[in-house]
């Protein structure tokens, strides 16, 4: 097989990149190791920054999002029995976020790709990227029981943290930065209307809690739990009791309960791989960086990467200049590190470490008090949460 751009991974990064290249008249082939049903149903992120919403609309993938997504103009912080709303619209120049699950983004982009775009091969397992430092990189893959090779002008690894694309980078040229946190998130999906019309981030001495949603009828709720926790270790009644404790406020607001349809545990990690380019191999999304979910940045960073990459590839096709491609890694990493900083700040602000001291507890509360009392501190949070510029 031969194409201009070989894309490994049909998550939101790979699918959106294929869509943007199609609109620019650049051929691509997408290889995805899982089947279509798995990709369209795996639960992941659900908060889209303003820039991500704009990018999906520009790609022609925003119609259902605009019908079914839930625009949010703020979040609520809860701490020490208090409630404080951060007004995104008023603090960040009218910017907002959209609650629209990654599963739905993937469904929309898959529908467009299969209808209008280039080949999208499910159950096509990438085995290796070869010749990244040549003019003709190759992706070896297995599909329909046999091995094949995809030759391309550029190979793009959108294949996640455990993918094969990153393995093609020489160790001598690679630097990695990583932090593993001593806690995780126990997440549940619940068939009940959300208890609050915006996301609620709660800091409590017993640990963090988050009230989120997937739709007007489905809630997504999270509890901080120790790293290594298994979802089955928590009984439904214990989850509800712990959520009630951690989100409690002095005004007596109650949590809406319903049947729990899914439980999962999400580990907490920060990770960055530098650089994002080696020869004609480029990384995007989780293949290049991981953030803890507290800042709602993972999916949005992936979109920022591929918008930047699609612009660079289009520029090369139209002008013959590789200037933007040569700057791809540095351009993306500026945004990545700001997102890493924000995600780390939000995580350490709201989660209680297992060995936290009374001094550290007081510092957390002081940081939250600063946000609640300072427009400058609130603005910094609102600008970061609604998204850093893509270029």
> pLDDT tens across 331-389, in order?
999 999 999 999 999 999 999 999 999 999 999 999 999 999 999 999 999 999 999 88
User: Residues for the chain: how many in total?
Assistant: 391
Tens digit of pLDDT for each residue in 255-267? Answer: 889 999 999 999 9
Give catalytic status of residue 107 as yes or no.
no
Annotated domain spans of the chain: 2-70+100-177+270-346, 179-268+350-386
Give catalytic status of residue 351 as yes or no.
no
pLDDT at 250 over 70: no
Residue with tokens 């507290």: 294
26 touches 313 (CB < 8 A): yes
273 touches 288 (CB < 8 A): yes
- The dihedrals phi and psi of 233, each to the nearest 5 degrees, come to -70, -15
Give catalytic status of residue 315 as yes or no.
no
**How far apart are the C-alpha atoms of 268 and 28, rounded to whole Å?**
33
From the list 100, 154, 201, 328, the catalytic residue is: 201
- Whole-angstrom CA distances from 202 to 11, 58, 205, 362 are 30, 35, 10, 15
- Coil, strand or helix at 386: helix
Tens digit of pLDDT for each residue in 274-311? Answer: 999 999 999 999 999 999 999 999 999 999 999 999 99
Residue percentage of the chain with pLDDT more than 90: 94
From the list 12, 137, 194, 293, the catalytic residue is: 293
CATH class belonging to 2-70+100-177+270-346 = alpha beta
**How far apart are the C-alpha atoms of 187 and 118, rounded to whole Å?**
36
9: tokens are 């991974």
- Whole-angstrom CA distances from 167 to 126, 143, 280 are 12, 21, 14
Q: State the average pLDDT over residues 297-326.
A: 97
The pLDDT-based confidence of 78 (bands split at 50, 70, 90) is very high
pLDDT at 219 over 90: yes
**How far apart are the C-alpha atoms of 4 and 119, rounded to whole Å?**
12
Give catalytic status of residue 194 as yes or no.
no
**How far apart are the C-alpha atoms of 298 and 106, rounded to whole Å?**
15
- Which helix (H) or strand (E) segment holds residue 206: the answer is none
Structure confidence at residue 249 (pLDDT)? 77
Give catalytic status of residue 115 as yes or no.
no
Structure confidence at residue 254 (pLDDT)? 78
**How far apart are the C-alpha atoms of 32 and 14, rounded to whole Å?**
9
From the list 183, 222, 328, 385, the catalytic residue is: 385
CATH code: domain 179-268+350-386 is 3.30.9.10
């Amino acid at each position: 097989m031969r194409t201009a751009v070989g894309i490994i991974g049909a998550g939101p990064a790979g699918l959106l990149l294929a869509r943007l290249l199609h609109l620019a008249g650049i051929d691509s082939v997408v290889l995805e190791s899982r089947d279509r049903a798995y990709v369209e149903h795996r639960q992941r992120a659900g908060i889209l920054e303003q820039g991500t919403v704009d990018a999906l609309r520009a790609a022609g993938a925003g119609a259902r999002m605009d019908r079914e997504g839930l625009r949010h103009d703020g979040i609520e912080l809860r701490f020490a029995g208090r409630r404080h709303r951060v007004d995104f619209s008023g603090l960040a120049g009218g910017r907002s976020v959209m609650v629209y699950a990654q599963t739905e983004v993937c469904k929309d982009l898959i529908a467009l790709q299969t209808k209008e775009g280039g080949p999208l091969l499910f159950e096509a397992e990438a085995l290796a990227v070869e010749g990244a430092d040549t003019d003709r990189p190759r992706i070896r893959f297995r599909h329909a029981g046999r091995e094949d090779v995809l030759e391309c002008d550029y190979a793009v690894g959108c294949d996640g943290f455990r993918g094969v694309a990153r393995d093609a980078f020489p160790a001598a040229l690679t630097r990695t930065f990583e932090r593993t946190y001593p806690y995780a998130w126990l997440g549940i999906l619940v068939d009940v209307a959300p208890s609050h019309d915006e996301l609620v981030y709660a800091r409590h001495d017993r640990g963090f809690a988050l009230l989120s949603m997937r739709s007007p009828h489905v809630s997504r709720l999270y509890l901080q739990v120790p790293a290594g926790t298994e979802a089955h270790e928590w009984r439904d009644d214990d989850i509800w009791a712990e959520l009630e404790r951690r989100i409690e406020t002095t005004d007596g607001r109650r949590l809406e309960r319903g049947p729990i349809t899914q439980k999962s545990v999400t580990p907490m990690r920060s990770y960055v791989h530098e650089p994002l380019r080696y020869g004609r191999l480029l990384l995007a999304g989780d293949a290049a960086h991981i953030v803890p979910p507290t800042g709602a940045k993972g999916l949005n960073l992936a979109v920022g990467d591929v918008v930047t990459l699609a612009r660079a590839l289009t520029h090369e096709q139209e002008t013959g200049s590789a200037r933007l491609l040569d700057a791809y890694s540095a351009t993306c990493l500026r945004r990545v590190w700001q997102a890493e900083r924000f995600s780390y700040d939000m995580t350490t602000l709201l989660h209680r470490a297992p060995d936290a001291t009374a001094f550290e507890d007081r510092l957390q509360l002081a940081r939250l008090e600063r946000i609640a009392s300072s427009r400058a501190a609130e603005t910094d949070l609102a600008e970061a949460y609604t998204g850093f510029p893509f270029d």
